[in-house]
Amino acid sequence: MSDEDDQVTCAECGFENPLEAERCQNCGADLPAAFAENLLAQVPGQEPFINKARITPAQQVHLRLLGEMLAVEGQALLLGISPRRAGYTTLRIGTSLVLFLVLLFSLLANKPVFTHPSLTSEALEARQLVYALTPGAPVLFVVDYQPGFSGEMTRLGQGVLAHILAQRAYPVFLSTHPTGPAQAEVFITDLGISTGIAYLTPDQYLNLGYLPGGPSGLLSFSQAPQQVMPLTADGNSAWQDPPLQTIQSLSDFSLVLVMTEDPDTARTWIEQAGPQLQGKPLMLLLSAQAEPSLRPYLESGSGQVQGMVSGVSGGVAYQDSAVFTLQSDTSGITWSAYSLGLWVGAILLLLAGLYGVFRLVREQENELSRGDKP
Amino acid sequence: MTQRRFPIFLLILAVAGGGIVLMGYWVDLPALVAVRNVLLRWAATLTGVAVLLGILNLLTVHWLKIIQPREGGVYSLVMLIAFVITFLVVAIDTPTGSWSVWIFRYIQLPVETSLLAILAVLLVVAVARLVVRRPDSFTLLFIGTAILFLVAATYLPRFDIPVVRSLRDWIVQVPVVAGARGLLLGIGLGVVATGLRILLGADRPYER
């Protein structure tokens, strides 16, 4: 520690006083109180500094609070439910029931009520990219979403994958999430169930599995895919199939397609893998929540992203617009259930808002009436 | 003396590694690119090892909770049993084997999807609480925007109001994109600043 650290500066005149001084030796002003000993003695590695630290009373209060917070960290806290919160429990159960029953009714009624959305311009570009694929063209299909989002992402991506397979292209699945390999298998199997076509045999696609390393791993894979991921997810040699023997870098894929709900994941792919594509198209399949954050890449005109399909609405529109048909096409029913759920959610939000305003007005009236009484 | 030299060694290692990877973008020297590629592959491997260390740490924490009985220890036991079963199944059956996919499809997927589904319910309840506790113009603006986005995302025949959809599109394509661009620029500048601080040795996260 330097000599400066062993001195305390007077806030009034700026004079450097010895550490043990209680008053300024120049102007006599009070110096900050010495640090209470052992206040943070439990913080490992900080003892030498604590013993020499000088802090104000306000800082001591903050440190005590920090100490108390550290002390309770790791302790199981029992959550007591106040009578006020018990009312919200009823509200929670009621809301759940309403949403559940409405969705169940919509699915059981089996009647499409809502009109399907139309294809957006960026989804149209995405469709053109898939149409341009030739038979046997290798397509890197990145399955990078959390399992919780599979409801939305499956509905979003099924039409696109079915279109890729209809073009007789060769999808190669990859994920930077540990659950990605299983997620891709479920995605493929569900598509097989939807189409009823048995063309999804293991020799018609490849699952490379999990790519570790975040941005570094991704950049590394972009430059030398065969070296970084030599094996498939099930441990076999990955690059022996004819469509993949010529793959030396990411630019050897005809199309790279990233399917994610996380803007950061998509951003990493755009920024790390994008420069290695050398003009080959990068297409995004995005959850509705990620679309606004990534739209600048699409609209910048730089060609970083050349096609985008987003949300359940994008998936339904894509499926409607393609030339293929899914054997068990349930998009009409699920779209109606989804739309009805959104409407009910909007109505519940409106009711919640009205309830809040009503309650506020009633409380103010009660206060006024109490104020009028002698 | 060794203790004083070790951080300097780490500093040199970090600056040299970062510098080589960075220079690989600008200087097209085959040797430099080869070294950069090796460093990147090491980083990917080390990240995989870090995940393993994280798992080991998690297991240790839960094991300690079991052998030193305390409240909630039974959850740790369940966690350890689930981990062992999943680990064995995935290790033997491979990550894409039928048993592994079964565990994923019928256990992990429903659990995580259900947790996310609760969000819809929590949102409504949270809005009710928000209005009761903070009934101001910002709350009303939030509720109005949320309702607008929910309604405009659907297409109900005869009830389709073009103005609502246009308003929603304008919000998404103008203010939201402007905000997103600002965030992306901020992230980019932050990454540059952090990278420079590490390359110049001002930030030394490896010493902690």
ipTM of the complex: 0.80
CA-based torsion, B190, B191, B192, B196: positive or negative: positive
The whole-angstrom separation of Cα A197 and Cα A326 is 9
A94 near B CB under 8 A: no
Pairs of residues, one from chain A and one from chain B, whose beta carbons lie less than 8 Å apart? 192
Residue A17 phi, psi dihedral angles, 5° rounding: -110, 155
Is the CB of B113 less than 8 angstroms away from the CB of A355?
no
Closest CA to A178 of A203, A150, A230, A213: A213
The whole-angstrom separation of Cα B172 and Cα B110 is 31
Cα-only R_g, chain A:
31
Residues of B in contact with A291 (CB under 8 A): 172
pLDDT of residue A50 exceeding 70, the answer is no
Q: Answer yes or no: are the C-beta atoms of A310 and A290 closer than 8 Å.
A: yes
Tokens matching residue B205 = 């996260």
Angle among Cα A263, A332, A157 to the nearest 5 degrees reads: 30
Q: Is A307 left (phi over 0), alpha (psi -120 to 50) or beta?
A: beta
**Element housing A143 (H / E):** strand A138-144
B120 near A CB under 8 A: yes
**What pLDDT is stored for residue B71 in this prediction?**
76
Q: Which of A116, A147, A299 sits opposite B109 (nearest CB)?
A: A147
Tokens matching residue A106 = 């919509």
**What pLDDT is stored for residue A329 in this prediction?**
56
Q: Percentage of chain A surpassing pLDDT 90?
A: 20
Is the CB of A267 less than 8 angstroms away from the CB of B184?
yes
Select, from the ranges B3-7, B40-44, B61-65, B81-85, the one with the highest average predicted confidence (pLDDT). Answer: B81-85
Task: Name which of A3-17, A59-73, A128-142, B163-177 the model is least confident about.
Answer: A3-17
Is the CB of B116 less than 8 angstroms away from the CB of A149?
yes
B207 near A CB under 8 A: no
**What pLDDT is stored for residue A109 in this prediction?**
82
Tokens matching residue A214 = 């975040």
Q: Which of A149, A234, A359 sits opposite B94 (nearest CB)?
A: A234
Closest CA to A342 of B67, B148, B187: B148
Half-sphere exposure of B118 (CA within 13 A, CB side): 7
For the segment B128-137, the average pLDDT, to the nearest whole number, is: 76
Q: Percentage of chain A surpassing pLDDT 70?
A: 81
Instruction: Give tens-digit pLDDT for A55-83.
Output: 677 777 787 788 778 777 766 665 555 55
Beta bridge partners of A206: A172
Task: Name which of A124-133, A180-189, B26-35 the model is least confident about.
Answer: B26-35
The whole-angstrom separation of Cα B178 and Cα B165 is 19
Residues of A in contact with B147 (CB under 8 A): 346, 349-350
Nearest-10 Cα torsion for B151, B155, B157, B160: 50
Q: Answer yes or no: are the C-beta atoms of A294 and A263 closer than 8 Å.
A: yes
For the segment A98-108, the average pLDDT, to the nearest whole number, is: 87
CA B159 to chain centre: 39
**What pLDDT is stored for residue B200 in this prediction?**
85
Residue B18 phi, psi dihedral angles, 5° rounding: -65, -40
Tokens matching residue A100 = 């559940």
pTM over 0.80: no
Q: Answer yes or no: are the C-beta atoms of A261 and A145 closer than 8 Å.
A: yes
B177 near A CB under 8 A: yes
pLDDT of residue A372 exceeding 80, the answer is no
Select, from the ranges A127-136, A342-351, B191-200, the one with the highest average predicted confidence (pLDDT). Answer: A127-136
**What pLDDT is stored for residue A129 in this prediction?**
93
Q: Percentage of chain B surpassing pLDDT 90?
A: 22
Range A102-122 burial, b when 16+ CB lie within 10 A, else e: bbeebeeeeebbbebbebbeb
Q: B186-191 long-range contacts, Cβ below 8 Å, gap at least 24?
A: B187/A267
Is the CB of B72 less than 8 angstroms away from the CB of A76?
yes
DSSP labels for A155-176?
A: HHHHHHHHHHHHTT-EEEEEES
The 10 Å Cβ neighbour count of residue B118 is 11
For the segment B137-150, the average pLDDT, to the nearest whole number, is: 83
**What pLDDT is stored for residue A79 in this prediction?**
56
- In the 8-state DSSP scheme, what is residue A149? G
The whole-angstrom separation of Cα B208 and Cα B204 is 8
**What pLDDT is stored for residue B77 in this prediction?**
92
pLDDT of residue B131 exceeding 70, the answer is yes
Residue of chain B with shortest Cα separation from A295 = B177
pLDDT grade, residue A208 (50/70/90)? very high
**Alpha-helical regions (H) of chain A:** 47-50, 57-72, 83-109, 121-131, 150-166, 180-195, 214-223, 225-228, 263-268, 291-299, 311-321, 331-372
B115 near A CB under 8 A: yes
pLDDT grade, residue A175 (50/70/90)? very high
pLDDT of residue B83 exceeding 90, the answer is yes
- In the 8-state DSSP scheme, what is residue A30? B
The residues, ordered by sequence, that sit 6+ positions from A45 with a Cβ below 8 Å of its Cβ are none
pLDDT of residue A3 exceeding 50, the answer is no
